[in-house]
Amino acid sequence: GAVVSQHPSWVICKSGTSVKIECRSLDFQATTMFWYRQFPKQSLMLMATSNEGSKATYEQGVEKDKFLINHASLTLSTLTVTSAHPEDSSFYICSASRQEISNQPQHFGDGTRLSIL
């Protein structure tokens, strides 16, 4: 099946640091990647939709200057949390899909646990 790799799996850093998370589709070309955020005991919340070669589309309430998304190739999207603060601590998950074809499920990475001290 389709494999999505997310790196790093765990990050601990000081407040004010910028953190970059990578999402790679290893065995298929992902025209669309999604970034989610999940707090403990809660469901996944969609943050933004990333399409290869174009600007990301952010969900309402998500600061685009805070969460920078780049989708430079069909196999790589990155999420950069700029000037992270403790309230940004969460579990970030990416998924990849092929938007040009119908009936394509999202394939998820294993998530990145971000802890800001």
Partner 1 sequence: LAKTTQPISMDSYEGQEVNITCSHNNIATNDYITWYQQFPSQGPRFIIQGYKTKVTNEVASLFIPADRKSSTLSLPRVSLSDTAVYYCLVGDSKTNAGKSTFGDGTTLTVKP
Which residues contact partner 1 by CB under 8 A?
Answer: 1, 4, 6, 32, 34, 36, 43-46, 49, 51, 57, 91, 93-95, 97-111, 113
Rounded distance between C-alpha atoms, residue 113 and residue 32, angstroms: 22
Do 35 and 45 contact (CB within 8 A), yes or no?
A: no
By beta-carbon proximity to partner 1, the closer residue of 55 and 83 is 55
State in angstroms the smallest separation of the CB of 72 from partner 1.
19
Q: Which is nearer to partner 1, 62 or 108 (CB)?
A: 108
The least CB distance from residue 97 to partner 1, in Å, is 5
Query: 88 — phi, psi (to 5°)?
Result: -85, -5
* Residue 25, phi then psi, degrees to nearest 5: -95, 120
Residue whose tokens read 């809660």 = 42
Give the nearest distance from C-beta 83 to partner 1 in angstroms.
Answer: 25
